[in-house]
Amino acid sequence: MKRRDFLALLGGAALATPNIASADTADRVYRLGTIQPVVPLTATDQLGKMLVDALAQRGYVLGKNLVLEARGARGDVEKLPALIDELKAGGAEVLVSFGYAATVAAKSAGIPTVVGWGVGDPVETHLIESLTHPGGNITGISDVAAELTTKRLQLLEEITPRLDKVAMLWNEQDLGMTLRYEASAKVARDTGITVQALGVRKSGDLDQAFAAMTADPPDAMLMVADALTISSSQRIFEFASSRRLPAIYEYDFLVRDGGLMSYGADVGESLVRAAAFVDRIFRGAKPADLPFERPVRYPLAVNLKAARKAGLDVPPTLLALADEVIE
């Protein structure tokens, strides 16, 4: 067993071990809402099932003492406040939010909220007062874009002969994602890499971004994930493949959907941690008193099918680093 696999197993065991569920979890019905800027995170999809299973380990069983209501804006973030109002009217006691836009809307609604992932730096965007003392009604998992970018650029260097210019694609209407882009761009520039800035505001803007990369080809691409870029991910995958452009993404589910490779926080771990926060809030804790946490595991996923389609050679050195390889 590789050392990193052992550490991941050890860390996973610690995260998966719940606090001993007391009898009071069976005394009433708990109501949880999930809010996504894309598709709803329901108990029947893979990620939703991870959250539900983690809650079950803490004594909250769907259909018995747990009700889950899921809402997703399907890329139209203007719908988020109305969707959260629906959850509030339905009696949701806690929300699990994903993405900056969804979390901002949840903050305005005043419902105790746990961030699963994707808000950028919550202090810099003024979602919270500090990581150790959030204040207000939000806690959860924080991002570390600058640190992760260093590793992402190193991984891109493994697959491309030269890395002088990187295209960075992000939603410039989303403050959280803009700050993630700016942190990533600074890291690249500090290491002597030119950044091709491709901010978009709507799906139609992707054509301009693609045209810019066609006219002035970068050596590689980094995509910042939010509702807009995730909902357009298949178009982005196809463009990168057609241009033989090495691309790296932030989350492993994007690689399973067809992206080349990803390096970022383990989504499964984040959901287990989110479940632990939900449990504590159900039991009476206030988000203001629960410090934001940072992920522990950062897996590298590589999609060899996407590499073959793009005509890219994945060196053995990169595969040796991978935690997940899709054949």
pLDDT of residue 144: 73
Q: Where are the alpha helices (DSSP H) in the chain?
A: 3-16, 46-56, 80-89, 100-109, 145-159, 175-190, 206-215, 227-231, 233-242, 252-256, 267-282, 304-310, 316-321
Contacting residues for 20 by C-beta, under 8 A, at least 6 apart? none
Mean pLDDT score, 6-22? 41
Strands 220-223 and 300-303, sheet pairing: unpaired
pLDDT of residue 26: 66
pLDDT of residue 25: 66
Confidence category of residue 320, pLDDT binned at 50, 70, 90:
very high
Mind giving me the DSSP string for 291-317? --B--S---EEEEHHHHHHHT----HH
> What percent of the chain has a predicted confidence (pLDDT) above 90?
74
Nearest to 300 by CA among 156, 128, 95: 156
Does residue 252 carry a pLDDT above 50?
A: yes
Does residue 4 carry a pLDDT above 60?
A: no
Which amino acid belongs to residue 178? T
Mean pLDDT score, 78-90? 96
Are the C-beta atoms of residues 92 and 30 closer than 8 Å to each other? Answer: no
Per the model's pLDDT, the better-predicted residue between 219 and 10 turns out to be 219
Does residue 5 carry a pLDDT above 50?
A: no
Mean pLDDT score, 151-168? 94
Confidence category of residue 199, pLDDT binned at 50, 70, 90:
very high
Does residue 125 carry a pLDDT above 70?
A: yes
Alpha-carbon span 233 to 225, nearest angstrom: 9
Mean pLDDT score, 59-76? 94
Mean pLDDT score, 171-175? 89
pLDDT of residue 118: 84
Mean pLDDT score, 184-205? 95
Does residue 17 carry a pLDDT above 50?
A: no
Per the model's pLDDT, the better-predicted residue between 143 and 222 turns out to be 222
Nearest to 315 by CA among 327, 298, 302: 302
Mean pLDDT score, 282-308? 95
Which amino acid belongs to residue 210? F
Per the model's pLDDT, the better-predicted residue between 91 and 119 turns out to be 91
Which amino acid belongs to residue 286? K
pLDDT tens, position by position, 24-63: 666 799 999 999 998 999 999 888 999 999 999 999 999 9
